[in-house]
Each structure stands twice: as structure tokens, then as C-alpha cells.
Structure 1
Amino acid sequence: MTAVPTSSTPETTEHDSDGRWDEAVRTLLETSGSTRSRPGYEGCTVSTSLGFRHINYLAEAAVLEHFRSAGLAPGMLYDEFGLGLDVVHIDTRLPKNLHVDDLATLFVKPVHTPDDTRMRFDVTSTVSRAGRSVTNARSTLEVLLRVEPGVDARLTVPAGLKRFVTERLGTAEPVELTVDPAPRPDLGSGRGTTVGRDSRRDPVLDELIGENNAFGWKWRVPYFYCHFGDRMPMSGFLRQLEEVVDLFLADRGLDVKRVLDERHWIPVVTHSRLDLLDEVRMEEDLYTVYTVEEVFKSLLYTSRMDCYVVRDGRLVPTATGRITHGYMTQRSNGTWELVTFDEPTLRALSGEHR
């Protein structure tokens, strides 16, 4: 990532730090900034355009760079104040595509009010097209500072940050279960247990899905989806959303590779949103339900992702999100256009059997 010049991290001595921290907090909370960055090559999965997850990653990276430029780098917050920085909300609209070789300029603007208990930032991403700047993404992110147990903080949290500090990310209300969870699958089973038209059953997922037009997935959260040796961050839930879509499409006979090869349709996302409701611990079993909500004019469909864990015999909501999907194809004149869903696709999305 190429960033605007940043100030050096303030010294962490008690006798002269108060004024420096106050200035750093003011810069963080009241000053806009920008950074320039290229997308990760990993995100170039279809054609040369980036998927929604990596565009969200860029927005998150821009906010983290804003913290660094203010002198409150995420690593320093952890080491000095015992605080873990967590993005708990991200909402992104994608009016234009992002190319693998684009150098995006990301503008970060604080938009929280004096009464907010979450930091809120608007992030606008622009790229160069035919010699002019165009907006390819608009995001809003909300951030909390989570007290990290076991970290020996060296300094007292600055007064201006205290309203954004929490002992726990979310306090979702647990729901009593009427079934017993199935035993965890063998660790060699790969992507865990899925519940769809062609999948085996799971009592918890069966209860969550009911009669809805939905797909369920249960699996063990690995350490590399987590941060601070503890919990799953926003980036992990973005990966979860992308993966459950892939599994859902395969279950409905719309495998991404098959659709690419047979119809030359490229999946596209125009909007995504995710909210963290509670914490998911490393190596917990995560239950994810993906529900198709609406098909719009046979061009786009909206879906909801809901994530849960089971603790002490109760179901705890941990995240919820929405995503709007469609397909594009390249016409003979080289232009890209949204595809109108054909009848087999509409039947698959509606949950009708093949």
C-alpha cells in the first residue's frame, strides 16, 4: 500500500504523552485523509476484475492507514493500551468495477457524531478511467476498540477514545435450542456440513432454515480466519459470505465454473453489507444460513447471511449481512452487460427442484 506521509508513532512515556495522544485522537476523529493502494492479486478470480471481498479489504485497509497516519496504529493500540481494533460494520456499494492493475485512491472521512459510541468512517474509492477519475466504490465502516484480556497495557486509554472502548463486541440475545447439535464432523471432511437440496441433514441448521428458501453450512473456524489469537474479525466474515455463496450456487446447480464455461456469465456484486452482532471464537463451530430474499426484474437477486454459534445449549447470533448478486457477460462488440436470468436460473434461485 502506498500511503500519504504519516507522522511517527508518539513516544510512549507517561510524562509527555498526554498532549500527543490528545492531538492524535483529534486527528483520527476529526480529520479526513487519503491513501493509495492496489488490490490483492488473489482477488482476481474471474476475468481481470476484483471481487467484492477484496474491494471491502481496500476500504478496511484505508481506515487502518488513517489510524496509522494519526499516530494510533493498530499494533500500538494493542501493545500500549491493550485494545484490539475491530471493524464491526461495513456497507459497500460498487458502481464500477475495480481492475487488477488499478491504483485506487481511497478518501477516508470521519462521520461519527459526538454522541456515537462507534467510530464511523466514509471511504470513497476512485480510479482512473480514460484520463478521468471515477468512483468505483463507496463504503461506510464502523470501528470499536475491544479490551484484550491478558494484555498488560502500559498506558491509560486517552479520554477521547474511551467512548469507543468495549469489553465485548456485541451482546446478542441467545435463543433456546429445541434440538441437540450434531457431533462435529471429522476434521478431514474439509468444508464441514452443508444442508441444501442435495446435502445431509444437521438438526441445528434444519431448525434455522425451516421452510425458507435457504442453504445452511456448519464448519469449524480455523485460526487463520481469526486475529489477536481470539476471534473472527470482519475480514473473516467477508470470506464467510463469499464461501457460503459459492456453496449455495453449487447446491442449486449454478456452480461458478459451470456457468462460466457453459453460459459465459461472470458473477457480479453491486452491494454488500455486514454487521457483527457478537464474537466468534477461534475453533468454534459456526452455523451459517444463506437465504434468497428477492429476485429483481430477473437481473439481480438479494440474499441474507446469518451466522450463529451454540454456547451452553443456546443459539447466539454472531453476524448478519446482505448481498446483491447478478451476472455479466461480454457482448460481441466488447461491452459488458448485465444478464437477464433464464428460466433454469430463476427456478434454481427460487428453490424449485431440478
Structure 2
Amino acid sequence: MTAVLDARPTSYRGRPRYEGANIGTWVGFKQFVYLAEDAVLQHYRDRGFGPDRLFHEAGVQLSIVEHSVRLPGPVFVDDEVHAEATPAPSANGSEDCFTVTLTVERHGQPVPVLKGRVRVAFVAPAGTTGAPPAELAGRVVPDLADLRPSAVPPATLRSGFLWTETIPYPYCQFSDRMQHSGYVRDLEEVVHRYLAARGISIRRMLTERNWIPAVTRSQVRLLADAHLEEELHTVFTVDDIVKDIMFTGRMDCYVVRDGRIVHTATGSITHGYGVAGGPDAGQVATMDAQTQAALLWSAS
């Protein structure tokens, strides 16, 4: 371990953002991921290697490049969340890996609400001046595609539900590159659009069935850089229905640059529904055949 990544766990306490309480006081899945990000960033800040210092002193961009999490319990808007980020072994020497847990207190006892991993890389684009800290020697890459070059073969746009957007600046970091949380928001957005296109929009399911979205797993992996105001093409498909209560879906993101398709990110989500109100509030909803048929359109 280096001074940047020693073996000591980092503790962090925070609350979900108010904007995440979209239905009732339940908090959406991306807020869990944001809190996991916060815990990992606190690790570097505690050791004097926060993103502000790395960028202004050395031109190095601390970048979260992956999350893979399981969400075993809900978070509500007034919850105080205790996060713990612990460095973990990583097969890729250019990345730092953390196991992250989030817990909340229920009836005086800690209850887990997130378990998973977060990965971090360090980027200095071509032309950056300044030398990285000695602790990062040999670990700084000019582009995210250099982290796992063998994992990013020449890309083709896969088939499925396609949504295209111009990458907005709130989704970017360090003025130019699309950041991890932008893809988390993209994953939430493309699911929303897919469900609406299939005639089972979130509003319709809420008003007609009293169902709210419930996510139990999510994963996003950045593969290559995408830049501010490039056209981002996001493809989403539903792969399977699990025990009539969850569906699994896959997201892939691409840009077209210099006449070639670049695969910039991939992700997955396990999604179902909970009962929004009444005596069964919070219970898992069973999806009927009509709902399942609408979901599986992209897998046909």
C-alpha cells in the first residue's frame, strides 16, 4: 500500500440529497451510489490527496471509474447514513479498489443498505504539465481507455432501445470529461425512457398499480473518455425476469469520434417494484404477464 491507499478503513457520515426523494420519502438508487462515492473521496482527503490538491498541484484528475453494488434495504430522506470504505486488492495496478458498506439505524440497530465495490483511477490528459506525486508514479493514464486496453476492442453499436443526448456540462468533471455519476444518472434516465416507450411508464404504474421503482443492484464501468457536448448514444435492453419480481437490464454507451464508434461505458441494473402506499406499503410487487411481456420486448 502507498500513502494514498493504506489498508485502514475510512468512515464517513452523510445524508442523501433531498432531490433524490422522488416518490414519498424513499430515496432513489443513485443517491446510494453518491454516498459510496463520498466515502471513497473521504479516504483520499483524510490522507492529503483530495481531488482539489491533486488537480491544482499536479494536473491529476481523480476519477471514479466503476461501482458495483447490492442494495439490501431502503434509505429515506432523513436517514443519517454511516459509510465505510476499505481498500481491497485490485488486479489492475492503475486502479484503487474499495469495498464499501452503507448502514442506517433502524430501531436502535445498524442495518445494511449497500454492499459493494468502487474503483478509482488517476488521469492526466495529454499536454498536462506538472509531475504526479511519487505515490502515483506509473499509475497515471492519459485516457480511461488506457486502464484496460485489451477490454476495449473496436466497437459496434449493439441493438436495443436507443437514446441519444448531447453530453451536458453537469455530467462532466474537470471541465471536459463525462464522470461516473453522469453515467449513473444516464442509467436511471434510460430505464425511465425505456419503460415509457413500452407503455409502462413510472407515472402509469404509480397511478394505476400503486407501484414505485425499486432497484436492488447496479453497476457502471467507464471504458473510455467521453467529452462535453459529444453525442452520447445509450443502448438499453432487458435481459431477463427474475422470479416474477425483478428484471435485469444492460446499458452500453457510445460516442462516434473521428469516424469510429467508441464504447465509453457499460452498466447493468436489477429493477423491480414496491407497493407505494396502503397496508402493503414497502412490499415487493409481483409483475403480471402483461408487464413482463412489455419489459421483455428488447430481448425478443
Task: Name the TM tier (shorter chain).
Answer: over 0.9
Does 2:133 align with 1:158? Answer: yes
CA distance in 2, matches of 1:346, 1:261: 18
Q: How far has the Cα of 1:116 moved from its partner? A: 2.8
**Structure 2 match to 1:130:** 107
Q: Is contact 2:97-2:117 (8 Å) kept?
A: yes
The equivalent of 1:62 in structure 2 is 39
Matching residue within 106, 114, 117 for 1:140: 117
Q: How far apart, in 2, do the equivalents of 1:151 and 1:66 lie? A: 25
Secondary structure of 1:351's counterpart equals: helix
Q: Higher mean Cα deviation, 342-351 or 278-287? A: 342-351
Paired letter, 1:101: D
Counterparts of residues 165-180 of structure 1 (less than 5 Å): 165-170=140-145, 171=149, 172-175=152-155
CA RMSD after TM alignment:
1.9
Structure 2 stretches lacking a partner, 5+ long: none
CA spacing shift, 1:262–1:295, aligned 2, 3 Å? same
Query: 1:195 matched to which residue of 2?
Result: none
1:87 aligns with 2:64: yes
2:236 maps to a residue whose letter is Y
Displacement of 1:49 after TM fit?
A: 1.2
Find the counterpart in structure 1 of residue 283 from structure 2.
337
2:238 and 2:39 map into 1 onto residues whose CA distance is: 31
Q: Which 4+ stretches in 1 moved above 3 angstroms?
A: 148-152, 330-335
Residue equivalent to 2:243: 297
Q: Please say if residues 213 and 273 of structure 2, whose CA atoms lie closer than 8 Å, have aligned partners that are also in contact.
A: yes
- Cα 1:112–1:165 shift into 2, 3 Å: farther
**CA apart distance, 1:218:** 1.0
In 1, the alpha carbon distance for the partners of 2:293 and 2:247 equals 13
Question: How many residue pairs are counted as aligned between the two chains?
Answer: 293
Whether the 8 Å contact between 1:79 and 1:151 is mirrored in structure 2 is no
Indicate conservation of the 8 Å contact 1:272/1:324, yes or no.
Answer: yes
Classify the secondary structure of the residue corresponding to 2:3. helix
Is the contact between residue 8 and residue 86 of structure 2 (CA under 8 Å) also seen in structure 1? yes
Separation in structure 1 between the aligned mates of residue 272 and residue 280 of structure 2, nearest angstrom: 19
Does the CA contact (< 8 Å) of 2:101 and 2:114 recur in 1? Answer: yes
* Alpha carbons 2:125, 2:141 under 8 Å: kept: no
SS in 2 for 1:101: coil
Match of 1:35 in 2: 12
**Does the C-alpha gap of structure 1 residues 158 and 152 become closer, same or farther in structure 2, counting only changes over 3 Å?**
closer
What is the deviation of 1:27? Answer: 5.8
From the superposition, tell whether residues 228 and 304 of structure 1 become closer, same or farther in structure 2 (CA, over 3 Å). same
Q: Which has the larger radius of gyration?
A: 1
Structure 1: give runs of 5+ residues left out of the alignment.
Answer: 1-21, 177-206
TM-score (normalised: structure 2): 0.92
